[in-house]
Structure 1
């Protein structure tokens, strides 16, 4: 399928690895010029080089912490304008809600609600003026089905979803869309760290913890980053202009709802 986004400019946040990297790779494959981001300059440049080699696309690496105003300014300065924004950021560590003090709560809100909202605010008027814009926010399956220990992550990401709901409807007339991708269990470093934490807390082998998790997923496997990246690229495509304000759950069927 031709996504018709060749020569579009894209920013993909937190994209040196995992699901963010998969989104950046698919957008680059489709011909977009892509800014990737992470905090580790060496890892980030290695990812940029790999995507360039695989796709031939222009890839710009910006090492920055997007939870800070300086970091957001740096990534926005990498392109003269932004056609596609993929908001992504690591979630707070899993922990009992009783262990989340005020400072931790503010940090979680800054990373997973405020920072992406500020990036949206920075790019959306230009998208409206040019009559094209695609914003995809990577949140979490825990927005629909809260998970013990991820209360702060769930709350912050649900807050972002609610905050942008009205915004999405206000710019739809200008061919600007705002959508959400809600990942379940994917084969990334994030799931590895969660399983390791559960194994340490329970004293059980990590392999057993992972097997228990897979048993609850109707697909009986973890998702692959490539599957996720493909879904992201479609939502960023020219053909997805009639899809806005939607949360696409990609979880192998684990959510027990009918919608």
Structure 2
């Protein structure tokens, strides 16, 4: 299937590794002109070379911390008119709600709500005028199924979800869609971190921790980053123009609810 993305400009935040890198790779394979973002210049350089080798076209990158206002401005200057925006950033660490202070809440909100909304606000007018725009927010399964110790992630990302639901209704008539992807147990560094926490807490091996996590899923395995990336590419496609304001869960069947 031709997704109609050839020569579309895509800005993928936090994309030197993990889910952002997977999305950038899938979009590049569909012919998009990619701008990567991250905080580590060497890692970005390697990521760009890797995608270039697969896609056969140059990949730009911009080193900047999007949790900071100056970093966001640097990214905007590097890619001022994207047709596709993939919002992504690392999530807050799990913890005890009673120990979270104002600093922890403000950091979570800045990273996982205000930063993506800043990019949405900046790029929406151009997408509207060009009559094409695809915005994907990589959030978390915690938005629909909050877990204990994950209140920072759930709270900040639920705020982003609510704001973008309103915007999705306002901009659908301009062929601008805004959707959210809710990953759970995709096999990235984040899952290694969670397995290492279990390993430390229970005194088990890393392999045993990973097995226990995988066995807790209906699919009995971790999700593959490329599965996530390809789903992202489809949501950005011309064929997906009637899909907006949605929360797509990529969780191996974990979510137990109907809606």
Task: Report the Cα distance in structure 2 between the residues aligned to 1:91 and 1:76, rounded to whole angstroms.
Answer: 22
Three-state SS of the structure 2 residue aligned to 1:129 is helix
Q: CA deviation at 1:164?
A: 1.1
Q: CA deviation at 1:159?
A: 0.8
Moved more, 205-214 or 164-173: 205-214
Offset from partner CA, 1:199-235 (integer Å, 9 cap, x none): 2123233322222211221110000000000000001
TM-score, normalization by structure 1: 0.97
Q: Which residue of 1 aligns with 2:130?
A: 130
Three-state SS of the structure 2 residue aligned to 1:148 is coil
Task: Report the Cα distance in structure 1 between the residues aligned to 2:94 and 2:84, rounded to whole angstroms.
Answer: 30
Moved more, 13-22 or 206-215: 206-215
Q: Which residue of 2 aligns with 1:70?
A: 70
Q: Which residue of 2 aligns with 1:8?
A: 8
Q: Map 1:70-149 onto structure 2 (within 5 A).
A: 70-149=70-149
Task: Report the Cα distance in structure 1 between the residues aligned to 2:181 and 2:153, rounded to whole angstroms.
Answer: 15
Three-state SS of the structure 2 residue aligned to 1:256 is coil
Q: Which residue of 2 aligns with 1:51?
A: 51
Q: Which residue of 2 aligns with 1:235?
A: 235
Q: Which residue of 2 aligns with 1:168?
A: 168
Task: Report the Cα distance in structure 1 between the residues aligned to 2:99 and 2:91, rounded to whole angstroms.
Answer: 15
Task: Report the Cα distance in structure 2 between the residues aligned to 1:251 and 1:49, rounded to whole angstroms.
Answer: 30
Name the CA shift for 1:80/1:105 in 2 (closer, same or farther; >3 Å).
Answer: closer
CA-based RMSD: 1.0
Unaligned runs of 5+ in 1: none
Task: Report the Cα distance in structure 2 between the residues aligned to 1:96 and 1:205, rounded to whole angstroms.
Answer: 24
The number of aligned residues is: 259
Name the CA shift for 1:113/1:166 in 2 (closer, same or farther; >3 Å).
Answer: same
TM-score, normalization by structure 2: 0.97
Task: Report the Cα distance in structure 2 between the residues aligned to 1:129 and 1:119, rounded to whole angstroms.
Answer: 16
Task: Report the Cα distance in structure 1 between the residues aligned to 2:207 and 2:37, rounded to whole angstroms.
Answer: 32
Q: Which residue of 1 aligns with 2:32?
A: 32
**After TM superposition, where is structure 1 displaced by more than 4 Å over at least 4 residues in a row?**
none
Offset from partner CA, 1:124-164 (integer Å, 9 cap, x none): 00000000000000000111111222210111111100011
Task: Report the Cα distance in structure 1 between the residues aligned to 2:144 and 2:58, rounded to whole angstroms.
Answer: 36
Q: Which residue of 2 aligns with 1:206?
A: 206
Task: Report the Cα distance in structure 1 between the residues aligned to 2:215 and 2:62, rounded to whole angstroms.
Answer: 39
Moved more, 42-51 or 52-61: 52-61
Moved more, 185-194 or 211-220: 211-220
Q: Which residue of 1 aligns with 2:177?
A: 177
Q: CA deviation at 1:173?
A: 0.4
Moved more, 76-85 or 162-171: 76-85
Task: Report the Cα distance in structure 2 between the residues aligned to 1:233 and 1:133, rounded to whole angstroms.
Answer: 13
